[in-house]
Chains A and B, each alone.
Chain A
Amino acid sequence: MNVIKIAGLWLVAALICHVQAGVGDTHEMVLDNGLKIIVKEDHRAPVVVSQIWYRVGSAQEHNGITGISHMLEHMMFKGTEKYSAEKFTSTLAKIGARDNAFTGRDYTAYFQVMGRDHLEVSFDIESDRMVNLILTQDDFDSEREVVKEERRLRTDDDPNALVYEQLSAAAFTSSPYHHPVIGWMNDLEHLELEDLSRWYQRWYAPNNATLVVVGDVEPETVFALARTYFGAIERRHIRDSKPRVEPIQSGLRRIKVKAVAKLPYILLGYKTPSLTTAEQDWEPYALSVLSGVLDGGRSARLSKYLVREMELAASAGAGYSLYARYPTLFLLEATPAPQHSLEDVEQALYAEIRALQEDLVSEQELARVKAQVIASEVYAQDSIRAQAGVIGRLESAGLGWRVMDEYSQHINAISAEQVRQVARTYLTEDRLTVSVLEPLQAGGTTGAAVVSDAAQ
């Protein structure tokens, strides 16, 4: 076993050098109008990805207009005077570009992936729709139906997704992470064209965006091209949303979701800081390691104990995303194995947490988690889209892309003691919201009802 341990530790040491060697391949420039451009060179294939990230997402929304950022993302494909919707699509099709967009809590992003010679097409289109979007009632009426279908598909007809949506809404009361990115159905139904127009005017500006380009390009060429296309757009005053700090939780919250389903399911969320909001910079990294100890592969504790050894869970997982603008949740989830109850699984999850609070994780486990993190960094370089995605998320969280180059060093510096410390500080009952799915037989009530199950 000694040999194995050394291999893991050796790996970490060896690859830190490699990862550091990557620093310097990324270049940044800011235009006079405030648009930040980040270019990462990757000359493995003659392709390039261009992503423009706006610092607006569901976290800027308030009750009544939830889902508006995502709705606007859909409307951004409806055309301008220069590029009608039809021309927009055919222009990108002609060059064989793949294009799409995505909305999150902290961002709305648009991207094209294409041959390296076509980057200019992307800049022309994105600079145009940053300011010249035409919003019409007809387009809006049909696209709203598409978005409602998307909500039905991703959330309403997916029992586990409903559990997550309800967990977030129960865990966060005032925090903007309370409501779902796609929005509540009722809010979608009452959005108006005028709301979208105001949202577009308020958030779509060069000084509220980051342009990320990764691929077979030269930074100076990209910067010059960006100046040509985006340089003339005027900066706007961005009125940020109010802080909406979450009040302190002072006791366990517990909810039940009834939905037509075959399998029960449990999701736990502990309130934790993100890298943006942490008072101690190392804590989010320690939480990441903690998540790896629980769910970093099949050798991790949830698989090893809950799934294989005790056979309590058919599947179990943990998740924590440190790149968020506001405080977030450390999640644990499980589906019970046949013949086991949700209660059994829930207690087993708590037992794992207690073990992390009481005992130090072994050197071997720690080395294994770190080895996987660092290997993952190498693997992620196989995808230019993944590389651009990390840069975009870091910029949207207000952290800056340079954090990416320090990530593995920070992970590598985390000790067993620090892992125990964050388990003790954050995985506590007063920070916990529990959401369980109670399956209804098909033939029962359609849709989901949320029942409050315990005193708040």
Chain B
Amino acid sequence: MQHSSTPLRAACGTLWLCAALLGNALAAPSIEQWTSAQTVRTLFVAAPELPMLDIAVTFGAGSDRDAELAGLSQITHALLSAGTDAMDADAVAERFEEVGARYGYDVNLDHSRVSLRSLTEEQLLEPALSTFVEILTRPDFPQKDFLRLKNQALTAIRDEQQRPDRIAGKAFYQAVYGTHPYAQPVSGSESSMQAIELADVKAFQQQYLVAENATIAIVGDLDTDQARRISEYIASHLPRGARPATAPPPQPASEDQYRFIPYPSQQSHVYLGQLGIARGDPDYFILYTGNYVLGGGGFSSRLMKRIRKQLGLSYSVYSYFFPLQQPGPFMLGLQTRADQAQMALDQASRLVQDYVDQGPSEEELELAKKSIIGGFPLRVDQNSDILAYLSLIGYYDLPLDYLETFTTHIAEVTREDVRVAFSRHLHTDRMVKIVVGGPEEE
């Protein structure tokens, strides 16, 4: 019981300290960076207020590595927690959960992230961390669990087939990316999932879940030395491997594409878009701010005002640029009663066209800039948000002052910048338009 006062003291002490310091606190968290064992880049933000810790290990192991076996990265990550030479799936789950720790992973088009949230009290953190490192570095992929997870993956794929928004999302990426790896869904298809064998999973792990392909992000109640020890512990256990080549750049479409997929739903899901920009594109902040006016700024965006508020066509309507390692999509989405899908699509296309032609008004741009800059503290007010930014900065090799300079970049954007960047990046004569839902067209 002598340990029981430690978290209590730590919590009260730091709360007081924090309150005292806040008078002149900066909004952006201060990031520390170092290179851990095997040259794994590590980013850390100390957050002493709560007795907890978040760790994310990001790998260049997204679904873009799946090749013809779509879904391979996904099932490989799912299988990590199915066992090691020392533990089976039950033991892994129990070891995390009996100390209140949460383990998770997510696979994206161009990277994957394996994460742990734990309390920082040493006797709780230690078993959570050692289990985390063990499944990350020494998974043994039991055959029985492989077959089970394959079945679960097939069920998940069928679940997507009964959701018109997912059918539309898949069709959109397919149309924008053609034969590029980003065209394939992270979850795979029934036939690709069926084709995956255990040997493929093992090979994927050995090739991609390696030190040369990893970055680490840590946020929590630790000092720098403790964070360094943790990152060393993770990094030194990862297999070395080699840094894989990045995916090739996708080819932009040369003409308009329209695709309608009938589905017996009451609504149609409408997506419109095309190839956008890659992470680190010099126009990123301009396009982000410009898109805020068009469809990123919630209730004050042009799309929301017209499509929802004036016309009552859709509950949600939005647009965004989704930068990836290679150019990611620009995407606009809405959903509406099936018989008015064409009208909504026309309205949305026209709004995009007008915006590309004319750009924002001075008033609109100023409002967007104020909103983004004023809202900046809300982007980094939680450990989980900061962790996501650290993963982003680490994985895409963004500058370490990314957060500190964020609002400065936004403040510099002009109307002319937006107009020029939008007409450079968006080609309204080469849009992909997807409509899913409603009866077969006449």
The chain A residues found within 8 Å of chain B, CB to CB, are 4-5, 7-8, 10-11, 13-15, 17-18, 21, 43-47, 77, 85, 89-90, 93-99, 113-115, 118, 141-150, 152-153, 156-159, 216, 260-263, 296-300, 303-304, 307-308, 311, 314-315, 335, 337-338, 364, 367-368, 371-372, 374-376, 378-379, 381-384, 439, 442-444, 446-447
- Which single residue of chain B is at the shortest CB-CB distance from A78? B309
B393 located at the interface, meaning its Cβ lies under 8 Å from any Cβ of chain A in the complex: no
Asked if A145 and B124 make an inter-chain contact with CB atoms under 8 angstroms apart, the answer reads no
Q: Provide the bound-state CA to CA distance between A137 and B92, in Å.
A: 59
In the complex, the number of residue pairs spanning A and B with C-beta atoms less than 8 Å apart equals: 244
CB of B390, distance to nearest CB on chain A (Å): 15
User: What residues on A are CB-neighbors of B159 within 8 Å?
Assistant: 262-263, 335
Q: Provide the bound-state CA to CA distance between A243 and B266, in Å.
A: 36
- Pick 20 A–B contacts, CB within 8 A, sort by A: A14-B4, A15-B7, A15-B119, A17-B4, A21-B8, A21-B11, A43-B22, A46-B377, A77-B299, A146-B312, A152-B266, A156-B267, A261-B162, A297-B96, A308-B145, A311-B148, A315-B152, A368-B94, A375-B119, A379-B102
B19 located at the interface, meaning its Cβ lies under 8 Å from any Cβ of chain A in the complex: yes
CB of A310, distance to nearest CB on chain B (Å): 10
Asked if A18 and B7 make an inter-chain contact with CB atoms under 8 angstroms apart, the answer reads yes
Q: Provide the bound-state CA to CA distance between A304 and B91, in Å.
A: 10
Beyond A11-B121, A14-B4, is A298–B312 a contact (Cβ under 8 Å)? no
Asked if A262 and B99 make an inter-chain contact with CB atoms under 8 angstroms apart, the answer reads no
Asked if B263 and A96 make an inter-chain contact with CB atoms under 8 angstroms apart, the answer reads no
User: What residues on B are CB-neighbors of A447 within 8 Å?
Assistant: 266
Beyond A98-B378, A157-B265, A304-B90, is A142–B121 a contact (Cβ under 8 Å)? no
Q: Provide the bound-state CA to CA distance between A243 and B145, in Å.
A: 51
- Which single residue of chain A is at the shortest CB-CB distance from B54? A382
Q: Nearest 7 CB-CB pairs, A to B?
A: A96-B374, A375-B100, A96-B375, A145-B312, A142-B312, A314-B155, A299-B93
CB of B360, distance to nearest CB on chain A (Å): 13
User: What residues on A are CB-neighbors of B383 within 8 Å?
Assistant: 382
Q: Provide the bound-state CA to CA distance between A260 and B437, in Å.
A: 12
User: What residues on A are CB-neighbors of B89 within 8 Å?
Assistant: 298, 308
- Which single residue of chain A is at the shortest CB-CB distance from B52? A378
Asked if B11 and A153 make an inter-chain contact with CB atoms under 8 angstroms apart, the answer reads no
- Which single residue of chain A is at the shortest CB-CB distance from B219? A382
Asked if B335 and A149 make an inter-chain contact with CB atoms under 8 angstroms apart, the answer reads yes
B161 located at the interface, meaning its Cβ lies under 8 Å from any Cβ of chain A in the complex: yes
Interface centre among A46, A143, A384 (most CB of B within 10 A): A46
Asked if B155 and A337 make an inter-chain contact with CB atoms under 8 angstroms apart, the answer reads yes
Asked if A383 and B382 make an inter-chain contact with CB atoms under 8 angstroms apart, the answer reads yes
User: What residues on A are CB-neighbors of B437 within 8 Å?
Assistant: 157
Asked if B266 and A157 make an inter-chain contact with CB atoms under 8 angstroms apart, the answer reads yes
Beyond A93-B370, A260-B162, is A378–B50 a contact (Cβ under 8 Å)? yes
- Which single residue of chain B is at the shortest CB-CB distance from A259? B162
Asked if B123 and A10 make an inter-chain contact with CB atoms under 8 angstroms apart, the answer reads yes
Q: Provide the bound-state CA to CA distance between A315 and B152, in Å.
A: 8
Asked if B264 and A89 make an inter-chain contact with CB atoms under 8 angstroms apart, the answer reads no
User: What residues on B are CB-neighbors of A368 within 8 Å?
Assistant: 94, 97-98
Beyond A17-B4, A77-B299, A338-B151, is A97–B375 a contact (Cβ under 8 Å)? yes
User: A374 is contacted by which of B22, B100, B163 (Cβ under 8 Å)?
Assistant: B100
Asked if A152 and B337 make an inter-chain contact with CB atoms under 8 angstroms apart, the answer reads yes
B361 located at the interface, meaning its Cβ lies under 8 Å from any Cβ of chain A in the complex: no
Q: Provide the bound-state CA to CA distance between A95 and B311, in Å.
A: 27
Interface size class of B (residues with CB under 8 A): 35 or more
Asked if A260 and B370 make an inter-chain contact with CB atoms under 8 angstroms apart, the answer reads no
A interface footprint on B1-14 (CB within 8 Å = 1, 0 otherwise): 10111111001100
Asked if B374 and A149 make an inter-chain contact with CB atoms under 8 angstroms apart, the answer reads no
A interface footprint on B308-330 (CB within 8 Å = 1, 0 otherwise): 11111111100000000000000
User: B367 is contacted by which of A18, A93, A298, A442 (Cβ under 8 Å)?
Assistant: A93
Asked if A376 and B100 make an inter-chain contact with CB atoms under 8 angstroms apart, the answer reads yes
Beyond A311-B148, A374-B100, is A89–B299 a contact (Cβ under 8 Å)? yes
Q: Provide the bound-state CA to CA distance between A375 and B125, in Å.
A: 12
Q: Provide the bound-state CA to CA distance between A118 and B371, in Å.
A: 13
Q: Provide the bound-state CA to CA distance between A379 and B3, in Å.
A: 20
Asked if A444 and B377 make an inter-chain contact with CB atoms under 8 angstroms apart, the answer reads no
User: What residues on A are CB-neighbors of B267 within 8 Å?
Assistant: 149, 152-153, 156-157
Asked if A443 and B50 make an inter-chain contact with CB atoms under 8 angstroms apart, the answer reads no
Q: Provide the bound-state CA to CA distance between A144 and B337, in Å.
A: 13
User: What residues on A are CB-neighbors of B99 within 8 Å?
Assistant: 7-8, 11, 371, 375
A interface footprint on B366-396 (CB within 8 Å = 1, 0 otherwise): 0110111111111011111000000000000
Q: Provide the bound-state CA to CA distance between A354 and B291, in Å.
A: 56
Asked if B372 and A96 make an inter-chain contact with CB atoms under 8 angstroms apart, the answer reads yes
User: What residues on A are CB-neighbors of B375 within 8 Å?
Assistant: 96-98, 114
Asked if A45 and B381 make an inter-chain contact with CB atoms under 8 angstroms apart, the answer reads yes
Q: Provide the bound-state CA to CA distance between A6 and B346, in Å.
A: 64
User: What residues on B are CB-neighbors of A114 within 8 Å?
Assistant: 374-375, 378
CB of A116, distance to nearest CB on chain B (Å): 8
User: What residues on B are CB-neighbors of A381 within 8 Å?
Assistant: 50
Asked if A337 and B374 make an inter-chain contact with CB atoms under 8 angstroms apart, the answer reads no
User: B4 is contacted by which of A13, A144, A159, A298 (Cβ under 8 Å)?
Assistant: A13
Beyond A113-B378, A314-B151, is A21–B100 a contact (Cβ under 8 Å)? no
Asked if B266 and A338 make an inter-chain contact with CB atoms under 8 angstroms apart, the answer reads no
Beyond A96-B372, A308-B148, is A4–B94 a contact (Cβ under 8 Å)? yes
Interface centre among A45, A152, A216, A263 (most CB of B within 10 A): A45
